[in-house]
């Protein structure tokens, strides 16, 4: 078996060539949650079919769940314009969602009697990472989801 050593620049070039990106904008005042879910599903299907990336069926389901929960929060707390950016290197799916709302989300304390308001808890449970940042206008949430079940990044895999 022949091994090929790559320097840091060559590894970066390969990673950039494998990177797939997509963006969409929505008016969440009209509740376009289903369109956002379809966008991320189609993005991952295209990454598989046109770029040959391996994406588990579970990763597609998780990505749609996460986008659905993030979009639902935009509809409830910051209706209006929303930007959805997705990117993958074939290992992780990065999802970034911007909205114009000024308030940063926070997970509610555990309460088995609470009905509803579990969306952010679900997102935190299934994502490898979660970050939220204030922007000049609004905020941006950023999450990462492993595309393969073997990465073991989340306890629910």
Over residues 112-143, the pLDDT tens digits come to 787 776 778 889 889 999 999 999 999 999 99
Its domain, for residue 39, covers 20-146
Q: Are 124 and 130 in contact (CB under 8 A)?
A: yes
Q: Sort 95 into a burial class: Cβ within 10 Å, 0-12 / 13-18 / 19+.
A: buried
Q: At 125, which CATH number? A: 3.30.565.10
Q: How many domains does the chain have?
A: 1
The pair of structure tokens assigned to 62 is 């998780």
How does pLDDT run across 3-54, given as a tens digit for each residue?
445 455 544 444 446 789 999 999 998 879 999 999 999 999 999 998 899 9
The pair of structure tokens assigned to 100 is 């114009």
Q: Sort 98 into a burial class: Cβ within 10 Å, 0-12 / 13-18 / 19+.
A: buried
């Amino acid at each position: 078996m022949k091994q090929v050593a790559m320097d840091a620049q060559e590894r970066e070039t390969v990673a950039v060539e494998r990177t797939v990106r997509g963006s969409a904008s929505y008016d969440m005042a009209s509740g376009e949650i289903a369109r956002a879910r379809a966008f991320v599903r189609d993005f991952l299907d295209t990454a598989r079919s046109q770029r040959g990336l391996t994406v588990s069926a579970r990763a597609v389901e998780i990505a749609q769940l996460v986008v659905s929960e993030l979009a639902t929060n935009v509809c409830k707390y910051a209706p209006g314009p929303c930007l959805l950016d997705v990117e993958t290197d074939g290992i992780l799916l990065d999802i970034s969602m911007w909205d114009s709302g000024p308030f940063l989300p926070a997970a509610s304390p555990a309460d088995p009697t609470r009905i509803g308001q579990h969306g952010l808890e679900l997102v935190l449970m299934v994502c490898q990472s979660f970050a939220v940042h204030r922007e000049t206008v609004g905020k941006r949430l950023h999450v990462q989801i492993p595309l393969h079940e073997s990465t073991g990044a989340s306890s629910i895999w």
